[in-house]
Amino acid sequence: MRHVVKELVRALNLLVTTRRRRHIYSCCDFARKLARLHHVDEEKVTVACLAHDAFRDVPTSKLLRIAKAYGIEPKGMELEHPVLLHGNVAAEYLRRRFKIEDRDILEAVAFHTSGKPNMGEIAKIVFLADSLEETRAYEGVEDLRRLAERDLDEAVIQTLRSKVCYAMKKEYLLFSETVEMWNWLLRNKRSKSLIQNDQDGVEGG
């Protein structure tokens, strides 16, 4: 994986703006910290973070051409906003350029914007780091960072909540995957607390 990291860094120098590079590296720093704290593969997290926005600054017409060459058919909101293809294109780039078939890395990259239900730990970390890295500044971000260091799942819920609230305030459209992710997270949280209550009941009884 080390050569992948090296090559990705080189590719980023050509593909993205300086500002975007700062975001990507900051994202890597925070994601690696979370990976260490939550015992998740740090190298995979690094590769996913480096790749996630590699195509974010590619002009729309070029992005659409690359997507077509990769066999990615724009659908749903991607038709209205082709920039949303950048995650999917980056995941396909990893597969084609580096023969990466690791599903956890690929889903983390492809779904970093929308999120999705049933996401793995690497995808959760990339999703969080994308919104919480050090260059991000908005009300509550500091608390969310601390929460992410303590409790990954709860941080994903609260970060998603903040993103959805913001999108609603701005009257942005929501991805269906985002809504499904929200429902999945809450169902998991409820079943966890039911199990906890059952255990408490048994211990108490």
| CB 27, min distance to Fe ion, A | 6
Q: Give the CA angle between residues 112, 57, 155 to the nearest 5°.
A: 25
Nearer to Fe ion, 107 or 130 (CB): 130
Q: Which of 130, 132, 157, 185 binds Fe ion (CB under 5 A)?
A: 130
Q: How far apart are the C-alpha atoms of 189 and 25, rounded to whole Å?
A: 31
Q: Burial of 34 by CB count in 10 Å (0-12 exposed, 13-18 middle, 19+ buried)?
A: buried
Using the contact rule CB under 5 A, the part of the chain among 64-72, 130-138, 156-164, 184-192 near Fe ion is 130-138
| CB 198, min distance to Fe ion, A | 40
Nearer to Fe ion, 125 or 204 (CB): 125
| CB 190, min distance to Fe ion, A | 30
- Where does residue 59 fall: left (phi above 0), alpha (psi -120 to 50 degrees), or beta otherwise? beta
Q: Which of 53, 78, 121, 133 binds Fe ion (CB under 5 A)?
A: 53
Nearer to Fe ion, 74 or 188 (CB): 74
Nearer to Fe ion, 127 or 182 (CB): 127
DSSP assignments along 155-198, one per residue: HHHHHHHHHHHHHHHTT----HHHHHHHHHHHHHHHHHHHHHHH
Which residues would be at the binding site for Fe ion (CB under 5 A)? 53, 130
